[in-house]
Chain A
Amino acid sequence: MSYQEKRTIVSIISGLIILSAYSLYTYGKYKSGVVIEGDLKFWAGAMLLFIAIGIVSTIIIQIVFHILLSVTIAVKAKVNNEDCDDKEIEKSIQSEMVTDEMDKLIELKSSMVGFIVAGIGFVLALLLIFLDYSAVVMINVMFASFSLGSLFEGFTQLYFYRRGIKHG
């Protein structure tokens, strides 16, 4: 499995963990009766909190992932060739983590998929308001669609890395 695929899987897993944590937290609060029906301030606060947690945890997870990957590459390089120096190890790490034109094309096409999912969710949220659903349902659908859009982006990236990608 390539570095790009591993990085994508790590992003998907961290996204899933954040979405699950948000669902469990809000469902727990809702079930316990702490949240009053239609309390938009609570939902907005919970979403802001989990967006902040999501950003911070993604940064930390990516840093830890890159450190672990670098250590793994360095150990492999030493096992394969005991005489290799730090410069060679650094070169191996850099060549493993290079981002090229194929990665950019995959990123572009998969982000398009992510935006489509988020866009569909946004339209669905507006439709729900039109159909007299509460504003709480609307903002949750919007939040879920943006989160799902991000997850779809990751799965699309994995698909393109496995199946290949064509221009156009």
Chain B
Amino acid sequence: MAKKIVITNEIRKFRFFANEMTQQQLAEKVGVSRQTIISIEAGKYSPSLELAFRIAVAFEVKINEIFDIEVKGD
């Protein structure tokens, strides 16, 4: 059986270091709604690969610096 993974992210941290970029500003940069950014930050929604790359591009970092995974169980 496939192991359960949880996708975590550091968007809040990167927003802080990007001169306290607001969720609305990030949403506009990557072309989604503020609601979606809120859900991603809270871990309630896992973005598509394309959106994850868009977020990484918005912060000018590599995707694995923002997104990581936690493997649950054996």
What residues of chain A have their CB less than 8 Å away from a CB belonging to chain B?
A: 2-5, 95-96, 98-103, 161, 163-167
Interface of A (DSSP majority class)? helix
Could you tell me if B33 and A164 are in contact, using CB atoms closer than 8 angstroms? no
Name the distance in Å between A159's Cβ and chain B's nearest Cβ: 12
What residues of chain B have their CB less than 8 Å away from a CB belonging to chain A?
A: 24, 27-28, 31-36, 39, 42-48, 51
Name the distance in Å between A3's Cβ and chain B's nearest Cβ: 7
Residue of chain B at shortest CB distance from A167? B46
Could you tell me if B51 and A101 are in contact, using CB atoms closer than 8 angstroms? yes
On chain B, the residues within 8 Å of A5 by CB distance are: 35
15 A-B pairs (CB sep. < 8 Å): A2-B33, A3-B33, A95-B33, A95-B34, A96-B34, A100-B36, A101-B51, A102-B33, A102-B39, A163-B44, A164-B45, A165-B39, A165-B45, A166-B46, A167-B46
In the bound complex, what is the Cα–Cα distance between A100 and B40 (angstroms)? 13
On chain B, the residues within 8 Å of A167 by CB distance are: 46
Name the distance in Å between A31's Cβ and chain B's nearest Cβ: 45
Could you tell me if B51 and A164 are in contact, using CB atoms closer than 8 angstroms? no
| Residue of B28, B45, B46, B47 with most chain A CB atoms under a 10 A cut-off | B45
Could you tell me if B24 and A102 are in contact, using CB atoms closer than 8 angstroms? no
- If the complex has contacts A101-B48, A167-B46, are A2 and B27 also in contact, measured as CB distance less than 8 A? no
In the bound complex, what is the Cα–Cα distance between A102 and B48 (angstroms)? 9
- If the complex has contacts A2-B33, A100-B36, A164-B39, are A95 and B24 also in contact, measured as CB distance less than 8 A? yes
Residue of chain B at shortest CB distance from A162? B44
Name the distance in Å between A2's Cβ and chain B's nearest Cβ: 4
Name the distance in Å between B37's Cβ and chain A's nearest Cβ: 10
